[in-house]
Amino acid sequence: MGVATVVLTGSLSVAFCFALIKLIQMFIARRKLIQMIERFPGPKGNILFGNLLEYPGPNEAGLKYQREMTGLYPRISRAWLGPILPLIIVNHPETVKAILKTSEPKGKQIYRFIEPWIGDGLLLSGGDKWRRNRRLLTPAFHFDILKPYQKLNNRTADIFIDKLNRFHQEGDGYFEAFSHVSQYTLDVMLQSAFSYKTDCQNIGDKHPYVRCVTEMLELITDRFFKPWVHNDLVYLLTSDGRRYKRHCDYVHQVAEDIIRKRREAMKVEENVTAKKALDFLDILLTARDEEGVGLNDIEIRNEVDTFLFEGHDTTASAVTWTLYSIAKHKEVQQRIQQELDEVLQGRDSDDITWDDCSNLPYLTMCLREAMRIHVPVPLLIREITEPLELCGISVPLGTLISISLYRLHHNPEIWENSLEFNPERFSPENIEKRDPFAFVPFSAGPRNCIGQNFAMHEMKTIIARILRRFDLELDPNHKVEMKEAPVMKSETGIRMKATPRELSI
């Protein structure tokens, strides 16, 4: 045997031993992880599919399953997404609070599905970058900045009201609420973020931006429940993956074109604030940190896309489910209308002012109760990067925590008859009795929704404008079924009609 052969044989033996040691270490680490995860309560998983086969799907049956699991495990549980990915699920104020009060980052293993769209913006970033950008963006949501948007809320609402009048005059008067409300909220977002007017409320679902956003959300939901396409390279080989990339490229192109044009306009303006009211893009372009460094174009695009993603469909979901709940309960509808008539009595205009939004307590109670039952964002995912105990059990570092807002808002230990629409749950005296973390539609803690005040004023405005002018009625021949997605939708849409009210002004 030659020297070269001996050396080669020895090298292969060393490599084999090294690989074997690594495999043994991985096996031991994996076994330890499983043992730690299995200390949490939860249903036994299948060796290949985990608990995926038990879950009926993102539909009414799946939501029923979640409520049942919450009854069995009211504070915490574990589940396996396939054979290798564990989730710790928290659904009680005590366990939810333990996560939301931290600055733990979002779970990139799941949220990376939307990263090609919104980038590493405020929703997905962590650590120093998240803290810096949060500081830079916070002034954009100061009340002094938000108040001028109230005029925009009313003018975009005018278009929606005109559409309702047309629906009343044409055909049987019924319309699909989700799509039209979504066009309204997108119109608000695009104008407040970009000062970008698209006429998307009149163009409707045929508008390319509307179509792209709608389809991307559907693709993301579908991918979440298919572990075999979680790998990015595999997903890009599928027709859905290629379609998702095309849509991302399109929305990026729109954003980049608007940013470029705004930068050019700002170069020739001596003072941008003298030309028009500041929008979100103006603030992003002029924001500077302690060292005088601003955001680059990609960072600005990421934050604008994040703002549109978080503020468009989520708000549309909350508004539509609130209108649905109000239309189902005539006595609730009449009480809101009475409140509106008192607040707006003697006015020539139905515009809802900034101060009006604070003087509509019953409408606010109804909005909150609708967001409790039909949670706009059903779950949040965080990744544990620092030592943590939940219910006395250590959580392995790197574990994904599912903060199930749907389960939290239907936890039988907190909410009796959780499917019953009862706005009185949010009377001041009842709120006082509850843990603040029992109802967190906008999340809570340091990573809460930075735009929640913007969203609440937008939602109250459009709901108030509609109910001031119309009586709502659901289509009795149309079955409404919930569909869980990144944003709570209806499987078959929501059909209703709006009949003009007779007002004595």
Q: Is residue 120 part of a domain?
A: yes
CATH of the domain at 477: 1.10.630.10
With a cut of 60, say whether residue 275 has pLDDT above it: no
Which band of pLDDT confidence, cut at 50, 70 and 90, is reported for residue 88? very high
What phi-psi label fits residue 71: left (phi over 0), alpha (psi between -120 and 50 degrees) or beta?
alpha
With a cut of 60, say whether residue 7 has pLDDT above it: no
Q: Is residue 318 part of a domain?
A: yes
Which band of pLDDT confidence, cut at 50, 70 and 90, is reported for residue 103? confident
* Cβ proximity of 326 and 336 under 8 Å: yes
Residue 28 confidence (pLDDT):
66
Q: Is residue 39 part of a domain?
A: no
For 6-15, b where at least 16 C-beta lie within 10 A, e where not — what string?
eeeeeeeeee
Extended beta strands in 334-425, E state: 379-383, 389-390, 393-394, 400-404
Which tens digits make up the pLDDT trace of 381-392?
999 999 999 999
Q: Is residue 18 part of a domain?
A: no
Q: Is residue 363 part of a domain?
A: yes
Supply the pTM of this predicted model.
Answer: 0.89
What six digits make up the tokens of 46? 């299948």
393-394 and 400-404 beta bridge pairing: unpaired
Residue 11 confidence (pLDDT):
61
Question: Could you give the percent of the chain with pLDDT greater than 70?
Answer: 92
Residue 5 confidence (pLDDT):
67
Q: What is the DSSP letter of 141?
A: G
Average pLDDT over all residues of the chain: 88
Which tens digits make up the pLDDT trace of 24-80?
756 666 677 778 888 999 998 888 888 888 899 889 999 999 999 999 999 999 998
Which tens digits make up the pLDDT trace of 304-322?
888 887 788 899 999 999 9
The residue type of 134 is R
Give the three-class secondary structure for 112: coil
Rounded CA-CA distance 99/82 in Å is 24
Q: Is residue 389 part of a domain?
A: yes
Residue 31 confidence (pLDDT):
73
Residue 272 confidence (pLDDT):
47
| Residue whose C-alpha is closest to residue 294's, from 282, 276, 277 | 282
| Residue whose C-alpha is closest to residue 300's, from 454, 114, 119 | 119
Q: Look at 481 and 34; give whichever has higher pLDDT.
A: 481
Which band of pLDDT confidence, cut at 50, 70 and 90, is reported for residue 195? confident
Q: Look at 107 and 66; give whichever has higher pLDDT.
A: 66
Which band of pLDDT confidence, cut at 50, 70 and 90, is reported for residue 4? low
Q: Is residue 26 part of a domain?
A: no
DSSP string, 210-268: HHHHHHHHHHHHHHHT-GGG-SHHHHHTSHHHHHHHHHHHHHHHHHHHHHHHHHHHHHH
- Please state, as a whole number, how many other Cβ atoms lie within 10 Å of the Cβ of residue 278: 18
Full domain range(s) for residue 95? 46-500
| Residue whose C-alpha is closest to residue 315's, from 192, 196, 138, 480 | 192
Q: Which residues contact 243 (CB under 8 A, 6 or more apart)?
A: 215, 219
With a cut of 70, say whether residue 269 has pLDDT above it: no
Q: What are phi and psi of 237, to 5 degrees?
A: -80, -15
Rounded CA-CA distance 139/458 in Å is 18
Question: Could you give the percent of the chain with pLDDT greater than 90?
Answer: 50
Average pLDDT over residues 277-285: 80
With a cut of 50, say whether residue 205 has pLDDT above it: yes
Residue 124 confidence (pLDDT):
82
Average pLDDT over residues 340-350: 92
Q: Is residue 394 part of a domain?
A: yes
Total tally of structural domains belonging to the chain: 1
Average pLDDT over residues 421-434: 96
Lowest mean pLDDT segment, chosen from 208-217, 241-250, 329-338, 464-473: 208-217
Rounded CA-CA distance 148/212 in Å is 29
